[in-house]
Amino acid sequence: MTVAVWFAVAAVAAVAVLIAVLALGVVRLRGLTRRIGSFDCGVRLPGRSATTTGVAVYGAGRIDWWRYWSVSFRPAASWPRSALVVDGREPVADPGGPDVYVVHARCGAAALELTMTPDAYAGLTSWLEAAPTNPGTVV
């Protein structure tokens, strides 16, 4: 085979791999956003200047958070319900844009800034308030 044929085969293989990775990302994102209890949630960790967009999902005793675009099928972060505390919220000043809150929270000693819609914020605070007061006791 000539060099041109090898180049064409390599180019086709590279395009096929790229399409497969993009398809995997779309399937992953679609699966995350269709889960019951999922909501759009951006996270800004201490020391970082940018917010990373993602999807959060309520669990029995925790919130799992996945980045929008990643090849990982595991959550990028997980916050236990018992350690998560909301310190406050403030609306993002964006005239004409969607209503979004910046939620200041703590998980243990780690400070978090979460961005979410007002509906997602209402769901988060309700979920936190509905936690059992003493999860270790049996009635």
pLDDT tens for 35-91 read 888 999 999 977 888 889 999 999 888 999 999 888 788 999 999 999 999 999 999
Q: Calculate mean pLDDT across residues 116-128.
A: 94
Write the pLDDT tens digit of every residue in 90-106. Answer: 998 777 777 899 999 99
Whether the predicted pLDDT of 112 surpasses 80: yes
**Structural domains counted in the chain:** 1
- Nearest residue to 79 (alpha-carbon basis) of 121, 110, 50, 52: 110
Q: Looking at the domain assignment, is residue 78 inside a domain?
A: yes
Q: How much is the pLDDT for 108?
A: 87
Confidence band for 137, pLDDT divided at 50, 70 and 90: low
Phi, psi of 130 (to 5 degrees): -85, 0
**Cα 47 from Cα 81, distance rounded (Å):** 24
Q: What is the pTM of this model?
A: 0.76
Q: How much is the pLDDT for 55?
A: 94
Q: Looking at the domain assignment, is residue 81 inside a domain?
A: yes
Strand pairing report for 84-91 and 77-80:
unpaired
Q: Looking at the domain assignment, is residue 120 inside a domain?
A: yes
Q: The domain containing residue 115 runs over which residues? A: 35-129
Q: Looking at the domain assignment, is residue 64 inside a domain?
A: yes
Q: Looking at the domain assignment, is residue 13 inside a domain?
A: no
Q: How much is the pLDDT for 107?
A: 92
Burial of residue 56 (number of CB atoms within 10 Å: 0-12, 13-18, 19+): buried
Coil vs helix vs strand at 9? helix
Q: Looking at the domain assignment, is residue 29 inside a domain?
A: no
Q: Looking at the domain assignment, is residue 99 inside a domain?
A: yes
Q: Looking at the domain assignment, is residue 4 inside a domain?
A: no
Q: How much is the pLDDT for 46?
A: 76
**Cα 139 from Cα 107, distance rounded (Å):** 28
Contact present, 52 and 67 (Cβ < 8 Å): yes
Q: How much is the pLDDT for 29?
A: 72
Confidence band for 135, pLDDT divided at 50, 70 and 90: low
- What is the sign, positive or negative, of the torsion defined by CA atoms of 86, 91, 93, 94? positive
**Cα 109 from Cα 82, distance rounded (Å):** 13
Q: Cα 59–83–55 angle (5° rounding)?
A: 40
User: Which CATH number covers residue 72?
Assistant: 2.30.29.30
Residue with tokens 């090849």: 71
Q: How much is the pLDDT for 136?
A: 64
